């Protein structure tokens, strides 16, 4: 199980709770101010907040924005990397063996989430395929001085396409009066001027991302409804009562002729009774103060979701077997590999780049800082994509030390080195996010905690490194 799948599960819970809060507050707000129903910005903004509540916790270092300590479930990790045995049933760690099955939950949800995204994309693609079939059957003709696509099918007049929208009209539109035809076409052209197809595409992508969240579907429906009401308002603005009646009659007639709706911006969609009432009475605009209040509310919910999100998490406590089986005596004769020590990552800690537990310690330093041998031994030099330029020193008795991500190596394989001798300089070669020294110790092929061999690591550790170790190991 990777740390990423655990973070996805954590972000899912945060998104669900944020969605529940958003849906409840916006439902109450709409009952108090019905004008919100026609405001695209409100419903699109709520969708973006909901997406942020899910995506932001997945970003690196997102937990730094937290103001609430994490809640931990004492479950150990399985599937350790070679050389790091993570105890699943280790009684010495105080972990209840009955909770071991919980380690499968994040991985299972990660798979389910990907399947859900794929299923949502497939349904969307199937709807687009139906539209493409209609476009292939459609014939181009001129109607009221403009080119349109006409198809003999019981569909709604609709706008098709995002970057170059086209009008797709049903043949039965010829049964409408010329005035009704002009109003229907004006409705669809208003969608194009308002860039509604682009907003619809964005909403569809957000729905695919948040397919598991009922609030996301509710908000998408509200956005589509706001787009229709907004077009109604703009088309009918300043028109006399008889044209409003013609517009309403065209809508009623269209709903009686169409069958199953297709994905897109269609003239015949929506709740008929509410729409007719708004056409008769007109639609008010959202007051600036209420608009500002709504935007502030959405921002507050998004910020709170990110700041409080770790409180919803469960933290997996990884206990490397090498630590459980550490030697009873520790050597303090080793020299620190850097003159100025700054520990940025402790042994065994689970992080984004070390989901199976950190195999050594990380020492932050500037590029070019001299690196020294911790003890006497025979050196061997290597370079690969993960560790970059590295030096391994065999100290005898099955004990070896490793110095990785070096910028420059000052010796060759087979050379004898003494404690304190310069062996290279700090760099960021291999899989490294920045200049630092990765220092690692093994005994008879098993990873050891370098704190058994080096002094003063806690006193020279960053606050973040100490906090992460305390969260995961309680010390």
Residue 127's pLDDT is 80
**Whether residue 230 is found in the same domain as residue 106:** yes
Cα(161)–Cα(143) distance, rounded to whole angstroms?
19
Cα(253)–Cα(255) distance, rounded to whole angstroms?
6
Residue 267: how many CB atoms within 10 A of its CB? 26
Under DSSP, the state recorded for 12 is H
**Whether residue 332 is found in the same domain as residue 269:** no
Residue 91's pLDDT is 36
Which token pair is 434?
Answer: 């920045």
**Whether residue 91 is found in the same domain as residue 43:** yes
Q: Which range, of 34-48, 162-176, 280-294, averages the lowest pLDDT?
A: 280-294
Q: Is the pLDDT of residue 30 over 60?
A: yes
| 372 occurs within a structural domain | yes
| 419 occurs within a structural domain | yes
Confidence of residue 80 (pLDDT cuts 50, 70, 90): very low
**Whether residue 126 is found in the same domain as residue 203:** yes
The alpha-carbon radius of gyration of the chain (Å, integer) is 32
Burial class (CB in 10 A: 0-12, 13-18, 19+), 47: buried
Confidence of residue 79 (pLDDT cuts 50, 70, 90): very low
Confidence of residue 3 (pLDDT cuts 50, 70, 90): low
425: helix, strand or coil:
strand
Residue 90's pLDDT is 35
Cα angle: 235, vertex 238, 244; to 5 degrees: 60
User: Average pLDDT in the 36-63 region?
Assistant: 81
**Whether residue 440 is found in the same domain as residue 467:** yes
Confidence of residue 346 (pLDDT cuts 50, 70, 90): very high
User: Average pLDDT in the 182-208 region?
Assistant: 88
| 186 occurs within a structural domain | yes
pLDDT tens by residue, 401-423: 999 999 999 999 999 999 999 99
Q: Which range, of 25-39, 81-95, 166-180, 269-283, averages the lowest pLDDT?
A: 81-95
What are the distances in angstroms from CA 67 to CA 70, 169, 282, 307, 313? Answer: 10, 55, 46, 6, 13
The last residue of one of the domains, among 243, 275, 308, is: 308
**Whether residue 339 is found in the same domain as residue 395:** yes
Of the chain, the percentage scoring pLDDT greater than 70 comes to 74
Name 399's bridge partners: 396, 443
- Decide which of 305 and 55 is more confident: 55
Residue 361's pLDDT is 94
Residue 101's pLDDT is 54
Cα(381)–Cα(401) distance, rounded to whole angstroms?
12
Cα(420)–Cα(377) distance, rounded to whole angstroms?
11
List, in sequence order, every beta strand (DSSP E) within 261-398.
265-266, 343-345, 361-364, 370-372, 377-384, 388-396
What's the predicted TM-score (pTM) here?
Answer: 0.57
Residue 209's pLDDT is 92
The last residue of one of the domains, among 279, 308, 337, is: 308
**Whether residue 180 is found in the same domain as residue 275:** yes
| 45 occurs within a structural domain | yes
- Decide which of 16 and 270 is more confident: 16
pLDDT tens by residue, 373-383: 999 999 999 99
- Closest Cα to residue 390, out of 345, 420, 342, 424? 424
The last residue of one of the domains, among 308, 342, 365, is: 308
**Whether residue 340 is found in the same domain as residue 249:** no
Cα(133)–Cα(224) distance, rounded to whole angstroms?
24
**Whether residue 196 is found in the same domain as residue 66:** yes
Q: Which range, of 45-59, 84-98, 256-270, averages the lowest pLDDT?
A: 84-98
Domain span at residue 353?
A: 325-473
| 313 occurs within a structural domain | no
Q: How many domains does the chain have?
A: 2
Write the Ramachandran bin of 213: left for phi over 0, alpha for psi from -120 to 50, otherwise beta.
beta
User: Average pLDDT in the 222-239 region?
Assistant: 86
Q: Is the pLDDT of residue 322 over 50?
A: no
Q: Are 10 and 309 in contact (CB under 8 A)?
A: yes
User: Average pLDDT in the 69-91 region?
Assistant: 39
Q: Is the pLDDT of residue 392 over 90?
A: yes
Q: Are 319 and 85 in contact (CB under 8 A)?
A: no
CATH number of the domain residue 336 falls in = 2.70.70.10
**Whether residue 62 is found in the same domain as residue 198:** yes
Residue 398: how many CB atoms within 10 A of its CB? 11
133: CB partners within 8 A, 6+ apart: none
| 229 occurs within a structural domain | yes
User: Average pLDDT in the 11-36 region?
Assistant: 87
Confidence of residue 395 (pLDDT cuts 50, 70, 90): very high
**Whether residue 282 is found in the same domain as residue 393:** no
293: CB partners within 8 A, 6+ apart: none
Residue 314's pLDDT is 42
Q: Is the pLDDT of residue 272 over 70?
A: no
Cα(337)–Cα(341) distance, rounded to whole angstroms?
8
- Closest Cα to residue 356, out of 259, 447, 220? 447
Q: Are 437 and 405 in contact (CB under 8 A)?
A: yes
What are the distances in angstroms from CA 43 to CA 23, 49, 208, 298? Answer: 10, 10, 16, 10
Cα dihedral across residues 66, 72, 77, 81: positive or negative: positive
Q: Which range, of 49-63, 190-204, 249-263, 311-325, averages the lowest pLDDT?
A: 311-325
Q: Which H or E run contains 183? A: helix 178-193
Residue 304's pLDDT is 66
DSSP 109-121: HHHHHHHHHHHHH
Cα dihedral across residues 278, 284, 290, 291: positive or negative: positive
Of the chain, the percentage scoring pLDDT greater than 90 comes to 25
Cα(18)–Cα(7) distance, rounded to whole angstroms?
16
| 220 occurs within a structural domain | yes
- Average confidence score pLDDT of the chain: 78
Residue 276's pLDDT is 64
Residue 56's pLDDT is 80
What are the distances in angstroms from CA 94 to CA 76, 356, 435? Answer: 10, 19, 37
Mean pLDDT is highest, among 6-15, 109-118, 154-163, 256-265, for 109-118
Q: Is the pLDDT of residue 471 over 70?
A: yes
Confidence of residue 307 (pLDDT cuts 50, 70, 90): low
- Decide which of 366 and 353 is more confident: 366
Q: Are 427 and 406 in contact (CB under 8 A)?
A: yes
Burial of 281-301, coded b for 16+ CB within 10 Å and e otherwise, reads eebeebeeebeeebeebbeeb
231: CB partners within 8 A, 6+ apart: 187, 190, 191, 194, 196
pLDDT tens by residue, 102-157: 567 777 888 899 999 999 989 888 888 888 888 888 888 776 566 788 888 887 88
**Whether residue 275 is found in the same domain as residue 330:** no
Residue 99's pLDDT is 45
CA dihedral 64, 406, 446, 354 (to 10 degrees): 30
| 164 occurs within a structural domain | no
């Amino acid at each position: 199980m990777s740390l990423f799948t655990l973070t996805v599960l954590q972000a899912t819970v945060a998104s669900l709770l944020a969605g529940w809060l958003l849906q409840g507050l916006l439902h109450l707000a709409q009952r108090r101010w019905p004008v919100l129903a026609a405001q695209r910005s409100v419903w699109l903004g709520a969708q973006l907040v909901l997406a942020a509540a899910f995506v932001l916790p997945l970003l690196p270092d997102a937990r730094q924005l937290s103001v609430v300590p994490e809640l931990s479930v004492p479950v150990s990790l399985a599937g350790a990397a070679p050389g790091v045995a993570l105890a699943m049933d280790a009684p010495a760690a105080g972990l209840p063996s009955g909770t071991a099955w919980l380690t499968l939950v994040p991985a299972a949800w990660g798979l389910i989430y990907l399947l859900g995204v794929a299923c949502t994309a497939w349904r969307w693609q199937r709807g687009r395929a139906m539209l493409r079939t209609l476009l292939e059957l459609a014939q181009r003709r001129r109607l009221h001085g403009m080119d349109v696509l006409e198809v003999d099918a019981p569909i709604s007049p609709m706008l098709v396409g995002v970057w170059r929208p086209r009008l797709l009209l049903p043949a039965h539109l010829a049964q409408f009066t010329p005035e009704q035809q002009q109003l229907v076409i004006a409705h669809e052209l208003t969608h194009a001027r308002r860039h509604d197809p682009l907003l619809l595409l964005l909403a569809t992508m957000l729905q695919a991302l948040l397919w598991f969240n009922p609030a996301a579907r509710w908000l998408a429906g509200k956005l589509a409804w706001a787009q229709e009401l907004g077009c109604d308002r703009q088309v009918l603005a300043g028109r006399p009562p008889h044209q409003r009646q013609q517009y309403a009659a065209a809508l009623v007639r269209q709903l009686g002729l169409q069958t199953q709706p297709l994905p897109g911006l269609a003239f015949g969609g929506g709740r008929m009774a509410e729409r007719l009432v708004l056409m008769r009475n007109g639609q008010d605009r959202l007051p600036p103060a209420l608009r500002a209040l709504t935007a502030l509310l959405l921002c507050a919910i998004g910020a709170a979701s990110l700041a409080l999100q770790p409180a919803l998490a469960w933290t997996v406590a990884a206990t490397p077997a090498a630590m459980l089986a550490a030697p009873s005596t520790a050597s303090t004769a080793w020299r620190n590999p850097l003159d100025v020590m700054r520990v940025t990552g402790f042994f065994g800690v689970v992080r984004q780049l070390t989901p199976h537990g950190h195999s050594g310690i990380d020492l932050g330093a500037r590029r070019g800082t001299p690196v020294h041998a911790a003890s006497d031994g025979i050196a061997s030099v290597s370079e690969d994509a993960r560790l970059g330029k590295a030096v391994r020193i065999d100290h005898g008795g099955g004990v070896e030390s490793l110095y990785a991500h070096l910028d420059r190596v000052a010796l060759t394989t087979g050379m004898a080195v003494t404690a304190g001798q310069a062996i290279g300089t700090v760099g960021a070669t291999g899989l490294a996010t920045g200049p630092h020294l990765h220092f690692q110790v093994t005994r008879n092929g098993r990873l050891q905690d370098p704190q058994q061999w080096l002094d003063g690591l806690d006193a020279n550790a960053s606050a973040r490194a100490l906090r992460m170790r305390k969260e995961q190991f309680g010390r």
